[in-house]
Structure 1
Amino acid sequence: MVKISVVIPTHNREDVVGHAIDSALNQTMTDIEVVVVDDASTDDTRAVVEAYDDDRLTYVRHDVNRGGSAARNSGIERSTGEYVAFLDSDDEWRADKLSRQIGRLETRSEEWRAAYCGFRSERQSAVVSLVDNLLERETGIEGDTELLYAILLLRFSHGGSSTLVVERSLVDELEGFDPTFSRHQDWEFLVRLLQRSRLAYVDAPLVTKHDTGVPDFETCLEARKRYLRKFSDIVVDLSLAGYPVIERHRFSLAKVAFANGRHREGIALLRGSAAPHVRDYFGLGLAVYNGLNG
């Protein structure tokens, strides 16, 4: 058994998947395996992966596109590590990412079964990069319940699944990712994780995330409804305690609507909404601008 299995789901990312693979194989912690799951790509992703001559790398291909959750689950099934780390194919890791996270977990008690880390975003827009640097969303929280609430309230950013390292036994208990989610797969997974484990944090930007454009509004809307329904008991408890859960998600969805040029839906969602963070006002303005000029 290797120490860590790295699962990289990908679909039509021939131009960037090599960077993700390199950043995984070049980790200072060498007792790893890397499982790339090609979710029925139609470009040259397979050729890029198979060009690597490294026994630690395994290529798995889906015959039909099944989505990111199913791709991660296929990677989990093929993995053998004591821990599982997830890396999106358009993201990259710093070389010491895994060693620092495992080091953090191995100094903690057994209730700490997963860790995340800091990240930095490379944006196409200089304005968005400036807002990222000046008005960061809260991060660096450790624990369980407080983190769970922060995620549902959209006041916390963990940087997506690329920042996570999780004990394999916990991944198995959770039965991996929920394949019914086309978006917000990492949110859903993390909420369930925090119901079973405490989450540790490494305070360093060990992940680089790249801007991947505007998500489809209808896809986001349906996934968000599914997400809030799945955890409706917690949402209701938070709402009764005076926290504006639904209102914050309405504001978040309004930004996506405006960015897609869906101004009527955006205006409707803004009614009765609440911004999760002051930076979201800047995000809303940029979304309106992009939607009008797209």
Structure 2
Amino acid sequence: MSHHNPLVSVVIPSKNRPDLVIATLVSVIDQTYDNIEIIVVDDGSDMPLAPLLKDRFSDRVLCLRNDQSLGGAVARNRGAQSAHGDYITFLDDDDLWLPKKLEMQVDAFSKHGVDIGVVYCGFDFLCKEEIVPRQNKFHNDYDLSIAVLSGCPFGSPTPLIRKHYFDMVGGFDRELPSCQDWDLWIRLSKVCGFYPVKESLALYRVHGDQISTNLRKKIDGRKMVLAKHYDEIKNYPRVLSAHYSRIGSLCVLADEHVEARDFFSKALASNMFDGGSFVHLVLQFLCRPLEKWLIERFSVNTIDGIKVIH
């Protein structure tokens, strides 16, 4: 491994998506940065992936297999345990990278000190093979330890991470049903800095069969992240209130109205000036259909009829 051309480990968990994972792998192999190792973790697919990947990519891809599905967090951690790179990155089996992503991120690392542990970028949506641009947010401050408490600061297909820091914080939390990436960024923000490459260099595929559209897992994941990091978040009442309000809104979308009212009440107790939560509570009693419409209109991305909920 060269100091100027460090090895990058790419870990891709996959289950029962042979056609999509092939396209994902092609987008990795087509990177302009070529000192990479690719590790696919077959998380209990009905038909083992290894023969297909061997036939398509020869020895270019290492395929590990879990005989039964253990979930994305476990699959990613298993791939990380087999990784040899100075840097590690994770890509879902339905997402894609643009060709210069890794080159630009490795270059960014080379221009900054070792205190930078994560280089991220923007991403756009991919729906029915058409790119749908989105508004990306980039932070100018390298220290995201406070900002990351408010919400996930960037998309999961974008960051490149110094493996030293990934190992230091213990990888992904397998107990979380969702939001595992956000939880990881919170923990990484305590030990290293973050740097943005301010371009969209990844594509998040929208097809409905993904956790961002699974409301119950999303609600439970956000509740667990809040509980896990509560001692820090409670120091910022507006942030705490926003968390409660967002969970309440998700509960409305899931038609869990008793739970929704509980979280909107907690939001107001945390921040009495949270007018939005007060309006939600009023609408809970007066007009739930209007409340749900407002949430879907202003807080949910709908792309070609598919709701993308973060």
Say if 1:115 and 1:200, in contact at 8 Å, map to a contact too.
yes
Whether 2:159 is the aligned partner of 1:164: answer yes
1:25-65 CA distance string (max 9 Å, x none): 11111111100011112256445433323433100111121
CA shift in 2, pair 1:22/1:285, >3 Å: closer
CA shift in 2, pair 1:228/1:157, >3 Å: same
Whether 2:212 is the aligned partner of 1:208: answer no
RMSD: 3.1
Q: Which has the higher contact order (CA 8 A, sep 6+)?
A: 1
Unaligned runs of 5+ in 1: none
Q: 1:14 aligns with which of 14, 18, 41?
A: 18
Say if 1:116 and 1:201, in contact at 8 Å, map to a contact too.
yes
Quote the offset at 1:257 in angstroms: 3.3
Secondary structure at the counterpart of residue 93 of structure 2: coil
Quote the offset at 1:198 in angstroms: 0.4
In structure 2, what residue type is equivalent to 1:195?
K
Q: 1:184 aligns with which of 172, 179, 196?
A: 179
Quote the offset at 1:279 in angstroms: 9.3
> Could you tell me which residue of structure 1 aligns to residue 298 of structure 2?
282
Whether 2:218 is the aligned partner of 1:220: answer yes
Structure 1 distance, partners of 2:136, 2:265, is: 23
Whether 2:42 is the aligned partner of 1:38: answer yes
Say if 2:88 and 2:162, in contact at 8 Å, map to a contact too.
yes
> Could you tell me which residue of structure 2 aligns to residue 23 of structure 1?
27
> Could you tell me which residue of structure 2 aligns to residue 150 of structure 1?
147
Quote the offset at 1:191 in angstroms: 0.6
Structure 2 distance, partners of 1:85, 1:225, is: 26
Query: Equivalent pairs: percent with the same residue?
Result: 27
Report which of the two structures shows the higher radius of gyration computed on alpha carbons.
2
Say if 2:11 and 2:39, in contact at 8 Å, map to a contact too.
yes
> Could you tell me which residue of structure 1 aligns to residue 193 of structure 2?
198
Secondary structure at the counterpart of residue 18 of structure 2: coil
Whether 2:65 is the aligned partner of 1:61: answer yes
1:239-286 CA distance string (max 9 Å, x none): 2xxxx223322333344334445456456545565679x998512597
Structure 1 distance, partners of 2:301, 2:30, is: 40
CA shift in 2, pair 1:59/1:10, >3 Å: same
Per the normalisation by structure 1, the TM-score is 0.81
Structure 2 distance, partners of 1:71, 1:137, is: 28
Structure 2 distance, partners of 1:270, 1:211, is: 30
Unaligned runs of 5+ in 2: 268-273, 278-293
CA shift in 2, pair 1:15/1:140, >3 Å: farther
CA shift in 2, pair 1:113/1:180, >3 Å: same
In structure 2, what residue type is equivalent to 1:283?
S
Per the normalisation by structure 2, the TM-score is 0.77
Quote the offset at 1:150 in angstroms: 2.3
1:88-115 CA distance string (max 9 Å, x none): 1111001111010010011001211221
Structure 2 distance, partners of 1:285, 1:206, is: 20
